[in-house]
Amino acid sequence: MWKEIIHIEGPYDFDRVLERHALDPLNQLDLGKRTIKIPLCIKKESFVVEVAGLGTVEQPVFQIESRGPKTFILERVKETFQWNVSLQEVNRHFQQTNVKKLFTNHYGTPLVLDFDPLYCLFKCIIHQQLNLTFAHTLTERFVKTYGFEKEGVWFYPCPEVVAKLTVEQLRELQFSGKKAEYVIGIAKLVVDGSLNIEELKQKTDEQIYHQLIKIRGVGAWTIQNFLLFGLGRPNLFPLADVGIQNAIKKLFNLEKKPTLEEMELYKQGWEPYLSYASLYLWRSIE
């Protein structure tokens, strides 16, 4: 077992990170102790990593604890929690825009990734066209039926397991037939090497879009969410997302949801941090 202390530049509100992760029943965390346990799979081995918040918003300090390979885990944790992104710079940028109020109200809120990009893709497929409560329920059934538990932490089923499932097996969990086909289909692409998640990380947003859009069940909404929460791309703004539309309607006191053309106008000046505008707009209506 090893421990490492990490200091990063503020602002960074770790409590808001924990609050957001607490919405997912699969996540193992303690709001009082300010800790969260992360499932990581490395070359077919599984490791639990505990991250504890020790500092403040302005002076963030974290303790990482695990039994796994230290260098790899530290890099993954830093990537997952986006500790390399200067939220000070992001906040400074938005103080000159029409969403300044959002960045004051949600000061120091980072864009945090799902614990594994492949499982993020699975989750995006499962969550399609579902309300959030049932989406979490369905994902929890999927993981607890075909995944595994270690040290009190749940791991998603590996693609080799999912690829061997039948549509009928997932239908028993209340998957739709199509959604079951999509999840199994993606797992098969990973297993046969047609889809390599690590290689995707090296590609541009546009290249990833053109590759993933060819996969059955993967549409623009799924790709945008994967780019945001799977890979942490900083400049994404899902125009068709109902939550973002409602947030803009509320923020600017509109009588009805904005059209796509109106949203294009509102977002002028937000680049190159559109993903943070998206995140803060979502947070404003949660």
Tell me: do 67 and 135 sit in the same domain. Answer: no
Q: Same domain, yes or no, for 76 and 138?
A: no
Number of structural domains the chain divides into: 2
Helices (H), 65-131: 70-80, 87-94, 100-105, 117-127
Residue 239 predicted with pLDDT over 90? no
What's the CA dihedral at 133, 134, 140, 141 to 10 degrees? 160
Claim to verify: residue 79 and residue 125 sit in the same structural domain: no
For residues 128 and 52, membership in a common domain is answered with no
Beta bridge partners of 39: 48
Domain hosting residue 161, numbered range: 117-229
At 241 the pLDDT is 86
Residues 6 or more apart from 261 whose CB is under 8 A from it?
Answer: none
The reply to whether 63 falls in a domain is yes
CATH code, domain carrying 18:
3.30.310.220
Last residue of a domain, one of 30, 63, 84: 84
Q: For residue 161, which of 186, 131, 127 has the smallest C-alpha distance?
A: 186
Listed residues 214, 229, 244: the one ending a domain = 229
**Catalytic status, residue 241:** yes
Is 237 within the bounds of a domain? no
Segment 3-58, tens digit of pLDDT: 999 999 999 999 999 998 998 999 999 999 999 999 999 888 999 999 999 999 99
Q: pLDDT tens for residues 121-157?
A: 999 999 988 888 999 999 999 999 999 999 999 999 9
Q: Which of 180, 199, 229 is the last residue of a domain?
A: 229
CATH of the domain at 154: 1.10.340.30
pLDDT digits (tens, 9 = 90+) for 174-226: 999 999 999 999 999 999 999 999 999 999 999 999 999 999 999 998 999 99
- Does residue 66 sit in the same domain as residue 126? no
Catalytic choice (15, 24, 205, 241): 241
Asked whether residue 105 is domain-assigned, the answer is no
Q: Are residue 147 and residue 209 in the same domain, yes or no?
A: yes
